[in-house]
Structure 1
C-alpha cells in the first residue's frame, strides 16, 4: 500500500470517504486491512465506506479468489453542490500529488504497512 502517514488529531480537510478513494486509487487490490491502516480507520469503517461508494456508483468490486479488486468510476460527479461539475477523476488527480510527495519525502513518514 505504501507508507502510512503520521498519526493526526483534530479536524482535517478530507473526509474518510476521500481517503479511502485515494487508497484504492493507489492500489485497487489493497486489502481492507491495509486500507484501514493507511487511512487510520477501523476495518469495519472502511467496509461501510466501500459499501457507500459502491451503492452510489463511485466504485465497483470484483472478487478474485479470496481477495477483491476495486474499480473507481472516474466520471462520477462529486456529491456536494459546491463541487458541481467536478468528477472523482478531478479529485484524484489533485490528490495524486500526495503519492509522489510521500515517495520524494520519506523522512516525513514513519511506518510501512503490510503489503498486498
Structure 2
C-alpha cells in the first residue's frame, strides 16, 4: 500500500514509542535488534533506551551478558494534551499491529 500524499521524513510513531513497544513484546531484546528494526544506529537506540529509563518509562536489569528490560506500569504520556492517558494503551496497540504485520509477512 502506498502512503498518502507526498513523501516526507516524518512519521506518526516516534522511535521512542517503537522501542518501548518492542521492549513490551520482548523484554530481553538486544539493542542491536531494536536498532535494526527501527532502522537507526545502535548508538541511537542506546540513547533512546537511556531516555526512557531516565524518564521512568522502563527499568533495566543485567541478566548475565544481556539486559532485561521492564516497562513501568501506569506511566502517563509526557505531553499535556495526552497527559491523563497511560502509555501502555498505545504500546499494546503498537505491539498488536507489529505482531499482525509479522503474521502477514510470514503468510504472504
Fold equivalence (TM over 0.5): yes
Are 2:21 and 2:92, in contact at CA under 8 Å, matched by a contact in 1?
Answer: no
Query: Are residues 39 and 108 of structure 1, via their aligned partners in 2, closer, same or farther at CA, if it must alter by over 3 Å?
Result: farther
TM norm structure 2: 0.84
TM norm structure 1: 0.79
Question: Which structure carries more relative contact order (alpha carbon 8 Å, separation 6+)?
Answer: 1
The root-mean-square deviation of aligned C-alpha atoms, in Å, is 2.1
Q: What 5-or-longer segments of structure 1 have no aligned partner?
A: 1-7, 110-116
Find runs of 4+ consecutive structure 1 residues off by over 4 angstroms.
none
Which entry has the higher C-alpha Rg, 1 or 2? 2
Are 2:18 and 2:94, in contact at CA under 8 Å, matched by a contact in 1?
Answer: no
* Post-superposition offset of 1:97: 2.4
**What is the number of residues matched between the two proteins?**
102
Q: 1:4 is matched with which residue? A: none
